[in-house]
Amino acid sequence: MRTLVLLLLFLAACGHNEPKEKLRIGLNPWPGYLDLAVAEHEGIFAAHGFDVHIVEYTSLHDMARAYQLGQIDFMPSTLVEVLEVNQGRRSTEVIWVADASDGADVALAKDAKSVADLRGKRIAYEPNSLGIFVLARMLDRAGLKVQDVDAIGMDQTEMVLAMKEGRIEAAITYPPASLSIRELPGIATVFSSAEIPDEVIDVFCVDPDILDADPTFLNRFYAVMADTAEFARRNPKTAIAHKCRQMGIEPSAWESAAEGVRYFELKDQHEWIWGSDRIPTIHARLADVIRATCGPRRDPVRPIHAGHRLAPELIAPATPR
């Protein structure tokens, strides 16, 4: 009996020491990405065989650049960054649609009532990223062109101080930077992603080589996302605390930070990925807008891969926690 007990303890110890798959995840403090932080902090990734290392970026462009350089393997981003990455040597594959921005991406302006008031004004945007797309769509809907304003490339973290010091009159921004800018006097929202529904989509991408090398990756990742959603439902305060810590805000500000973000779960991936051309269609539309804004340097646009290898039967049920 003693021998049997020792054997079982040995086998249990071996199970806990099984090597886990290393995964370098880039993370920007956008609300729609922060389930990844919850999964890491609560050990959900580890429970499904992932050894996750989160690398933080304040700029989506910097994260896309890091992915291109091979510094991360997993990139949560908008489809604009996917477009950027696909122009380089390293490809990526969309495996999850995280959210749609229904008003969380905004143009905040000082002493202006409409986009038309921004003619000739200095507008900050995050270059080589979603910022140029939102800027282009905002101006187009107002009958303006990029040449009609003074567009200034700037990191999100710098926009707050630049607006406070009067170096810019408007900013294309999102939480948490937008929360700080809104606290300044005379600030108004003159445009938001609510005016271009389902055009600003956030996705999770991974290096296709990882998917080719590990046929269990997707199944385990879906289980992580399902378990994380279940954990958040059962422990909302803890999940929000993790997310706010990642964003650098107080839990009391979470509701404002998350306003205008429509989140998607496992069941929603059927509509977005499996048997659907929605992602490639939106991706092509983004490419057209950015090409028209920035010129032909982005041609040719490599087609996006989203879910072509996925099947609903791969979904693993959530593990009770």
The H or E element spanning position 210 is helix 208-213
| 220 contacts: CB under 8 Å, gap ≥ 6 | 48, 49, 50, 316
Q: Which token pair is 145? A: 């062109």
The string of pLDDT tens digits covering residues 37-76 is 999 999 999 999 999 999 999 889 899 999 999 999 999 9
**What domains can be seen in the chain, in order of their start residue?**
2-100+200-314 (3.40.190.10), 106-195 (3.40.190.10)
pTM: 0.82
For residue 4, the model assigns a pLDDT of 39
Strand blocks (E) in 157-254: 170-173, 187-192, 201-206
What gap in Å lies between CA 96 and CA 220, rounded to an integer? 13
**pLDDT (tens digit, 9 = 90+) per residue, 20-46?**
779 999 999 999 999 999 999 999 999
Q: Dump pLDDT digits (tens) for 107-153.
A: 999 999 999 999 999 999 988 788 889 999 999 999 999 899 999 99
